[in-house]
Structure formats: C-alpha cells, structure tokens
Chains A and B, each alone.
Chain A
Amino acid sequence: AAGVIQSPRHLIKEKRETATLKCYPIPRHDTVYWYQQGPGQDPQFLISFYEKMQSDKGSIPDRFSAQQFSDYHSELNMSSLELGDSALYFCASSLGTGGDEQYFGPGTRLTVT
C-alpha cells in the first residue's frame, strides 16, 4: 500500500540558509500534519492542513511557513536556519478531520551546520 512520501530524506544546510521539505500524503488523504523531533525527544506538532487550509498551528517558528497544494501535497519552508533547527521532520497524513490514524512518513533529517 502507498505510504506517506517525504523528500528529501536527508538535507544539510548552513546557518541562515533556507530549506524546503516536501510531503506527499497517502492517496485520498486530505489532512497533512508536520512534526519536528529533536534528538531524544518526542515529536512536536508544528502545523497542519485540511483541504488546503491551515487547520491548526503548534510550535512553528515564524521563520517557518507551510502550505498544502491542490494535489494535497504539502511543503514546509524554513528560512534563516539555526543550529537548533537540526532535527527529524515528519509529515503525517490522515483522512478527514478527526485526527484519527495519522500515518507518518519516513522523515527528513535536517542538519544545520
């Protein structure tokens, strides 16, 4: 069965650079969530979209923005990168608005040097 696809899988950037992470949800899923997971930490919710509209916002820095496109894929744009942004970034998708059964992608490992 098709799963959530994230690209790139690994990304190395320098401080103050920008990065764009992409997420392709499971087909027919209309809700996308972004999470950040630091070393030894649990995933922290950043932002979510339902039917191309932002549905919820968590601890996403102002330097980050995201959107969901007409084909339901989502992009997380990160600017003025800081060392502390180094983490695993996961995208999850679900069908509908209940937040049920969120399926996670393999993640993008971002390293800021």
Chain B
Amino acid sequence: GESVGLHLPTLSVQEGDNSIINCAYSNSASDYFIWYKQESGKGPQFIIDIRSNMDKRQGQRVTVLLNKTVKHLSLQIAATQPGDSAVYFCAENPPPGNTPLVFGKGTRLSVIA
C-alpha cells in the first residue's frame, strides 16, 4: 500500500544506538510542542510533549529538548529498537488556545537490526 513519508529525509541507525531527530518550528510565540510517531497507514501517535517554559522533558526512552532561541526541537530516543522505525513529526501549537497543530516536516527513522 501507499506509504507515508515517501520523500522525507531518512535517519538510519543501528539497533541499540541512540537516535536524534531534529525539527525547526516556525512560530516564536508557540507555547506547546508535541512529537508524534507515525507508522505506515496509521494515524500519528503521541510520544511526548513539552511546554515553552521548559527546555527538556524526559519520558520512557525518549527525551525532548527545546531551544526557543533558535526555534528548534529535538527528539532523542535511547537504545533504538526496530519497533521505533516510523516517520516522526514535530508539531507546534501557536497561541491562543484552541488552535490546530502545525506540523513540521517528518523524518523517517529506519532502524537497522
């Protein structure tokens, strides 16, 4: 079937290594950011979020870093596993509230076993 992310940048990592996926966002006033994981043919799956009053947030095997100065987000995945293979999107939520998410360009993560 048709795949999401046919023309997206790809990051290939060895199983067990750490992965870092980067994202630039557009609105300096955005105050909430989310990383989504999207497997082929499926909807985006929430991974981790961060608010603009923080610069780092950790979850299970994932860490999000926020650099507001340069409008940059990164997602770090520790001990990458084959099941992490997917397209990863960052999304920003510009103010005011009740606004839709603005997605960044996705990155395809390919884990080499």
Contact = CB atoms under 8 A, between A and B. Distances in A.
Interface of A: 4, 31, 33, 35, 37, 39-40, 42-45, 48, 50, 55-56, 58, 88, 90, 92, 97-107, 109
B6 A104 contact: no
A51 B49 CA distance: 25
Given A39-B6, A40-B6, A104 B45 contact: yes
Given A48-B98, A99-B93, 5 more contacts: A40-B4, A43-B44, A101-B34, A103-B46, A105-B43
Interface residues of B, number: 29
Give the residue among B3, B4, B34, B42 with the most A Cβ atoms within 10 A.
B4
11 contacts: A39-B6, A40-B7, A42-B104, A42-B106, A45-B101, A56-B98, A56-B100, A98-B93, A99-B93, A102-B101, A109-B2
Contacts, number: 79
Interface string B73-113: 00000000000000001000100011111111110000000
B32 interface: yes
A104 B4 CA distance: 15
B41 interface: yes
A97 B93 CA distance: 12
A39 B103 CA distance: 15
Contacts of B3: 39
A61 B102 CA distance: 18
A100 B93 contact: yes
A90 B43 contact: yes
A98 B100 CA distance: 9
A33 B106 contact: no
A50 B49 contact: no
A56 B49 contact: no
